[in-house]
Amino acid sequence: MVVGHERFTIFATSDEFGTLDPSFMIPFAPPRIDDRTIQAVTDALRSGWITTGPRTKAFEKHLAEYCGVEKLIALNSWTNACELALRWYGVGPGDEVIVPAYTYCATANIVMHVGAKPVLVDVLDDFTMDPEAVRAAMNQRTKCIIPVDIGGMPARVQEIMRVAEEACAWFTPAVNLRIGGSNPQMRLGRALVLSDAAHSFGARIGGKPVGAQADITGFSFHAVKNLTTAEGGALAFHLPEPFNAQELYTWFNTMSLHGQSKDALAKTKPGAWRYDVEAPGWKCNMTDIQAAIGQVELDRYDSETLPRRKAICERYHDAFAPDERFIAPLLKDENRESSYHLYMLRVPGASEVDRNVIIEAIAKRDVSVNVHFLPLPMLSFYKRFGCRMEDYPYAYIHYSREISLPVYFDLTDAQVDTVIAAVKASVQEVLG
């Protein structure tokens, strides 16, 4: 029996050490850990360098090549990486940041952390942010827009970039801001588009990998993600001139390490102990142990991970798309293709209560499913903050019917068929 949600899946265990008994049930999203991963971590441990070092730097370079950007920085989570991006852009009290109502809490929490106000907008049928709702929410306080690639399907980032550009006449930059010797708000002259690509590493927009479309793209390498480093994240920089990718990298690298002018590796060079701190930074660097896991994941991402995830989603699609009791998720259109992170099925005939009962019925069949996500206005904090679910009808209706099915590399075709049978039988049992 399994109790699961995105961040913590509690497995029934076969012994006191918590070893997963694979015959017992179908879990939701276990990571792929095999001898190659274990060897890479062992090598990192034996190398004598376990914090940020050569493995992290190589991983960053390879990620940047994959995404088609000049520079990318690997950090310890999406949350800390994207919060740092807001701080770099000088977003703070009095400012507004537009986020979709339908997302994981991290997207809005980082806005709260910097003292700005998250402004929620509704989503479209593919679960992603509605660019027209963004347009309507823009005003002179808007400093940033965070579209979210839910389930791996890219948001309409290019349309949202256009909305930001069209609204540049209203943009009111903070005048006294100095970040790394210049004022990024004055330089960009419009709201920053910070893409929440926590789910969408390897997804495509216009045939190109996600990362080189928004101003800054934030990835998550959390344990359940398509590409994991156990915990981790990255920022891909794609800011227009006169921004300089190397300067951006240097600022983020320094500020992810307390604002120190030298990182630990640089300080170990003979005689190079002295450093300075020009601004009090944060602490959110990636370790070489994490990068070692990530590099193995990246090396086999296009050849193994993505094709397997796609094949699983297509098998679900063949079963659910023709069945009128279900709405199959959009995974591809003429411009965008998902990273196949989640298979977000909907049951249109179900109320929220029915959906919850269906999930219990599926769990009784030893299949772990999930719901992505509880919209922000349903969370106590955001309710107290004044967000009302009735203002985001699409977010609510999508959420109330949604069931995410297991998608992960080691899921076999036979297990996919077991999931399909469990879902169909459960829906039949509850809705007749």
Task: Give the x/- contact pattern for ligand PLP in 220-249, rule: CB under 6 A.
Answer: x-x----------x----------------
Judged by CB under 6 A, the stretch of 76-84, 93-101, 136-144, 318-326 that binds ligand PLP is 76-84
Eight-class DSSP state of 249 = H
- Could you please report the per-residue DSSP string of 2-56? -EE-SS-EE--BSSTT--B-TTT-B-S------HHHHHHHHHHHHHT--SSSHHH
Sole binder of ligand PLP in the list 49, 89, 104, 171 (CB under 6 A): 104
Is residue 189 a contact partner of residue 164, using CB atoms and an 8 Å limit? no
**Binding pattern to ligand PLP, positions 115-154, x when CB under 6 A?**
---------------------------------x------
Instruction: Estimate to the nearest angstrom the gap between the alpha carbon of 180 and the chain centroid.
Output: 27
Q: With respect to ligand PLP, which residue has the nearer C-beta, 198 or 362?
A: 198
Binding residues for ligand PLP, how many (CB under 6 A)? 15
The sheet carrying 204-205 orders its strands as 208-209, 204-205, 336-337
Which lies closer to ligand PLP via its Cβ, residue 224 or residue 361? 224
* Residue among 209, 200, 218, 213 nearest 342 (CA): 200
Using the contact rule CB under 6 A, the part of the chain among 38-46, 71-79, 264-272, 295-303 near ligand PLP is 71-79
Out of 77, 128, 256, 305, name the contact with ligand PLP by CB under 6 A. 77
Site for ligand PLP contains 299 (CB under 6 A):
no
Which tokens go with 174? 């903070």
Within 384-413, which residues bind ligand PLP (CB under 6 A)?
none
- Closest approach, Cβ 395 to ligand PLP, in A, equals 13
Minimum distance of ligand PLP from residue 262's CB (angstroms): 27
> Cβ closer to ligand PLP: 76 or 305?
76
Residues 416 and 187: their CA atoms lie apart, in Å, by 50
What six digits make up the tokens of 85? 């991006």
Tokens of 89: 């852009």
Contact 158, 428 (CB under 8 A): no
Taking the complex as a whole, the smallest distance from the CB of residue 196 to ligand PLP amounts, in Å, to 5
First to last CA, the chain: 25
Question: What are the angstrom distances between the C-alpha of 237 and each of 29, 91, 210, 265, 319?
Answer: 29, 17, 11, 24, 39
Site string for ligand PLP, 184-213 (x = CB under 6 A): ------------x-xx--------------
Chain position carrying tokens 């179908």: 26
Of the candidate residues 56, 103, 253, 338, the single one contacting ligand PLP (CB under 6 A): 103
Binding residues for ligand PLP, per CB under 6 A? 6, 77-79, 103-104, 106-107, 148, 196, 198-199, 220, 222, 233
